[in-house]
Amino acid sequence: KSPKSPLPWIGQRAFSSERFQPPCVVPILGVQQSRSSGYRLYIEMGCGSSKNAEQPKGQPIKELKTYTMEDVQKCNKPDESMLIALEGNVYAPFPFICMHPGGGEILAKAAGRDVTDEFDSNPKHSTAARKMLKKFLVGILVGQQDTATVIDKKCEDTGISLDGAPSALRECGNGQIECTIIAKKQLSHNSFDFTFSLPSPNHVLGLPVGQHVRLVADIRSPDGTIEKDVTRSYTPVSPATQKGTFKVVIKVYYKNAHPEHPEGGQMTQYIDSLKIGDRMQVVGPQGAFVYQGQGTYTAGYGENRGKCSKMGFVCGGTGISPAYQVIQSILSDATDTTNLWLVYSNQSESDILLREELDKLAEEHPTQFKLWYTVTQAVPEGWAYGNGRVTEEMLAEHMPDPGEDTLVTACGPPGMIEDVVVPSLARLGHADARIMVF
């Protein structure tokens, strides 16, 4: 008899039927709904014991629990109690350890941590991986520390960061600050440039080139109480050395704009609803990639170091933001001779974000920066770029040749990156270590 949710079974022990002699107790590692009315159980072989056999415990979960980050951090052992936080949700993934494609050790190291950035930066985490995660969902993350409600009044210019300027993220909130929206500029029918103020005119955000921040939205119930926190990652498009403010470009996914997502984007609609003077929490630095200058970079949270003289970027939609941050950093440094290639895909010409800035950079650096746009809809007369989706042939023509001195990065819709870009680059001869997905 199937309960409303199979979640209580995961991590429990099942008593085998009398057909098995002797009867034994086996751990349930996973549950998958079958095409019939029941569920398929995945059990661990060879670990059963007939001693102290007992019936499986647990009741169907009627609603998700709420956890603070402190709660998650306490559950940091790779056993049945382990929890991880991911994109504002809390999961109990221990039953999946032995089935994790990358090995159980990777998942074990995630116990008690927020792994949002590590998960998002891994190209192998496909849409199917996200669906699988739902099986281990146990709650939502709430009550993140509001450490910066008066940050801009209390923070002093202490500590040194870029160009001698103090770092707001490091000095003012231990990685979490509250910033005020001071400007909003419409870039297209559904994309906007938001400008946030920093604690003082002398502060820089303090974000290494290539990394990003997470914006936190307090989603409130009708009575005004905070229902849950939703977080999303964004890469500022303003220079890392910019003082007093920083900018992010956000595409708003409106309700009923797409038949497959009738509710639209919860976070982007929330940000769109904010007014000048409203505040948001900003958390960072986040991300596995850092460009250090002169062609040197680190990936995998500092575990992998590399150097390149050629760097390619393949982007779709708002995925241009991390690429633009690195591109403008390189081209603003006269001593950095790294050559750059960019293939940027959108639905229409009007959807191209940062068009003016990109065209200007390409015009000012014609030998160092090669720029190629492609749009999937009909193009205007005189269009000098591509028409259609990104293809292997397009990447062969507009990306640098593979080699030990080449790095190609990608950022965009999962379907484009996972199904087209990464496989195409591999077929063209780019080594796995030389392909990096933001």
Residue 411 known to be catalytic: yes
CB of 266 closer than 8 Å to CB of 250? no
Q: Which two tokens stand for residue 294?
A: 């002169």
Residue 212 known to be catalytic: yes
Q: Name the helix (H) or strand (E) containing 193.
A: strand 191-197
Q: Which two tokens stand for residue 181?
A: 């929206």
* Matching residue, tokens 């003289």: 309
Residue 212's alpha-carbon distances to 116, 205, 354, in angstroms, are 12, 11, 18
What is the Cα Rg of the chain in Å?
24
Angle in degrees, 0-180, between the axes of helices 355-364 and 320-331, rounded to the nearest 10: 30
Backbone phi, then psi, for 80, in 5-degree steps? -60, -20
Question: What's the CA gap between 278 and 287, in Å, rounded?
Answer: 26
Question: What's the CA gap between 282 and 215, in Å, rounded?
Answer: 5
CB of 111 closer than 8 Å to CB of 76? yes
Cα angle: 258, vertex 263, 264; to 5 degrees: 60
Reference 114, options 148, 63, 75; nearest CA is 75
Reference 196, options 208, 182, 210, 207; nearest CA is 182
The single residue of 125, 203, 212, 398 carrying the catalytic annotation is: 212
The single residue of 67, 75, 155, 234 carrying the catalytic annotation is: 234
Question: What's the CA gap between 211 and 36, in Å, rounded?
Answer: 46
Give one DSSP letter per residue of 400-432, joined into a string. PPPSTTEEEEEES-HHHIIIIIHHHHHHTT--G
Question: What's the CA gap between 124 and 118, in Å, rounded?
Answer: 11
The single residue of 116, 195, 231, 235 carrying the catalytic annotation is: 235
Residue 234 known to be catalytic: yes
Helix (H, G, I), strand (E, B) or coil at 153: helix
Question: What's the CA gap between 159 and 174, in Å, rounded?
Answer: 12
Residues designated catalytic: 212, 234-235, 411
